[in-house]
Chain A
Amino acid sequence: GQQVMQIPQYQHVQEGEDFTTYCNSSTTLSNIQWYKQRPGGHPVFLIQLVKSGEVKKQKRLTFQFGEAKKNSSLHITATQTTDVGTYFCAKDNSSYKLIFGSGTRLLVRP
């Protein structure tokens, strides 16, 4: 199937350390979205990447879209306890369906 894999599944870091999650697709993506879900909460849209090689930043978060548009990454610099949650990438197809990756759960030790 047209799945999107994310690694790692879990990441436990000390506050202040960096964190990166990777999203990989077997097919070329038209675009990719990233969401954050806090424990007990619902997914919240973070950003969308469309162009090959695109890099976007939101404060301590850096998002990249691969040159071949088959992979993407989210990097958090100097994690804080407020960054705790599960980060999902999500891909769409031509029918307005958004399919979520497997997610990376981030835990931050204070």
Chain B
Amino acid sequence: DAMVIQNPRYQVTQFGKPVTLSCSQTLNHNVMYWYQQKSSQAPKLLFHYYDKDFNNEADTPDNFQSRRPNTSFCFLDIRSPGLGDTAMYLCATSRGRVMSSPLHFGNGTRLTVT
């Protein structure tokens, strides 16, 4: 089955220690997204790629970076995690050829910063 896969499922990192979360997709979708979801809150968009075109949200901290080396993979790098970055990180994809096509989410990576 075509899927969005996130690794790892759980990640613990120390304050200030860089961490990378990964996402892969077999849907061949043009658009890949990273959302941050804190406990009992809505997913918050950090950035998205339309193919190789990177789009950053204005309020996404500089601490958060992303890479998309090819259609299938996208990475979220947190350069110096703070305690406030503890959250679920959700990767999602959409076709992008049609505005408003549905998002397909991965299972998420639950990040804990200690």
Contacts and interface: CB of A to CB of B under 8 A. Distances in A.
B55 A48 contact: no
Interface in B47-66: 48, 50, 55, 57
Given A88-B42, A101-B42, A102-B42, A96 B99 contact: yes
Interface residues of A, number: 25
A42 B105 contact: yes
B103 A99 contact: no
Contacts of A48: 100, 102
Given A42-B107, A102-B42, A96 B31 contact: yes
B107 A97 contact: no
A98 B108 CA distance: 17
Contacts of B41: 102-103
Report the contact-size class of chain B (Cβ under 8 Å from the partner).
20 to 34
B102 A45 contact: yes
Most chain A beta-carbon contacts within 10 A, residue among B35, B45, B99: B99
B106 A42 contact: yes
Q: What are the 7 closest A-B residue pairs judged by CB atoms, nearest first?
A: A45-B102, A42-B105, A100-B42, A31-B100, A92-B100, A103-B42, A100-B43
Nearest to B55: A95
Contacts of A99: 45
Interface of B: 31, 33, 35, 40-45, 48, 50, 55, 57, 90, 94, 96, 99-100, 102-108
A39 to B, nearest CB: 11
A44 B55 CA distance: 23
A100 B99 CA distance: 16
A33 interface: yes
Given A97-B45, A100-B42, A103-B42, A45 B100 contact: no
B21 to A, nearest CB: 14
A58 interface: no
A48 to B, nearest CB: 6
A52 B106 CA distance: 31
